[in-house]
Amino acid sequence: MPPIKTSTDSLTGLFPAEIAERIEAPLMRGRQLFQWLHKKRVFDIDAMTDMSKTDRARIGERHFLTALTPALRQESRKTGAQKALFELADGETIESVLLAQGSRITLCLSSQAGCALGCTFCATGQAGFRRDLSPAEITEQALRLLEGVEYSADSTPNIVYMGMGEPFHNYDAVMKSIHLLMHIEGLHIGARKITVSTAGDVAGILHFAEEPWQVRLSVSLHAADDDLRSRLVPLNRRYPLRELHDALKHYQEKRNRQITIEWVLMDDVNDSPAQAKALVTYLKGLDAAVNLIPWNAVPSLPYLPSPIHKRERFMEILGKAGIKATLRKERGDDIEAACGQLRNIRQD
């Protein structure tokens, strides 16, 4: 009888040498399988025709190649953004997003099923935490989103860990997935094209500062005073703004990389000139660019999107202070694929 298969055992979460060891075969076979899964994004063992039928049957019988079952794919008519819903082996579901702007592709991956942080403007946070994802469950989101998608060497996709979950609360699995996505025999994504986005987990930032690579860091700040930030991002009660600032400073001293500050603009909540000035003050001593994101309506939540004139005024204040800021366009809000809108839709 074949061994019992488990989702965390899926081969999409393993390096070539680990695959070879798992399937008890030479390294060459591990590399072949890795390339089928990661480079060619082929998940059907019977289609891997450079292996003998006997080998394919043996591997298929004993091992899960994949961890995700695609359950739904929606495409925004407005922007072409695609949202994918995946089912996990234990019945949990997660979502990920592909955004395309011309030849530029960005994949937004989830690191957890649900999220424990409960940010009050976020659909994922309201649905609660289910569990951490395995390296296979994280990595495979990118492979599945890119199934059948062609891109040239100079337009390899960008990856952002900005879907469901706090990446630093599932640190080891996220780091392994980054190494897998960067692997030269797979997608071969450059470190600078990968961004890990945290809600401000200071322990995670300090840990991340020790990683010897150029992977980017972004922080979902949303407020520059502790009262408001604690209301929007409850993690702020554990890691207040001063402590977060010190951690970001330390990160920059170690890694010498610009950080991105994410700021979701909500009407009469955090879009005032006073808030913009508080942000300017907060960023003193940091090399940071600011990404302003219009809040995308979630019907059950008591917020409204910031109107365009307030967004532009906010941006102008940052610009006058010499801070590089971009105002992100709504991308995929009609299919609830925008920031803060991801959730386990089976729970609706």
The site for ligand SF4 (CB under 6 A) is made up of 115, 117-119, 122, 124-125, 164-166, 199, 220, 340
DSSP-assigned beta bridge partners for residue 195: 160, 216
- By C-beta, is 14 or 115 nearer to ligand SF4? 115
- By C-beta, is 122 or 269 nearer to ligand SF4? 122
Kindly state the smallest distance separating residue 261's Cβ from ligand SF4, in Å. 14
Q: Per the residue annotation, which of 95, 137, 166, 262 is the catalytic one?
A: 95
- By C-beta, is 41 or 130 nearer to ligand SF4? 130
Q: Per the residue annotation, which of 108, 115, 119, 339 is the catalytic one?
A: 339
- By C-beta, is 162 or 182 nearer to ligand SF4? 162
Kindly state the smallest distance separating residue 37's Cβ from ligand SF4, in Å. 27
Kindly state the smallest distance separating residue 239's Cβ from ligand SF4, in Å. 12
Q: Does residue 159 sit in helix, strand or coil?
A: strand
Cβ 258 vs Cβ 289: under 8 Å: yes
- By C-beta, is 30 or 165 nearer to ligand SF4? 165
Kindly state the smallest distance separating residue 51's Cβ from ligand SF4, in Å. 40
Kindly state the smallest distance separating residue 149's Cβ from ligand SF4, in Å. 25
Cβ 89 vs Cβ 117: under 8 Å: no
Task: Pick the closest to residue 280 from 314, 243, 244 (CA basis).
Answer: 314
Q: What are the residue ranges of helices labelled H in the chain?
A: 16-23, 27-34, 53-62, 123-127, 135-145, 171-182, 202-208, 226-232, 241-255, 273-282, 308-320
Query: Tokens 């976020």 map to which residue?
Result: 122
DSSP state of 86: E
Q: Is-catalytic flag, 95?
A: yes
Cβ 125 vs Cβ 117: under 8 Å: yes
Residue 56 has φ and ψ, to the nearest 5°, of -60, -40
Catalytic residues: 95, 339
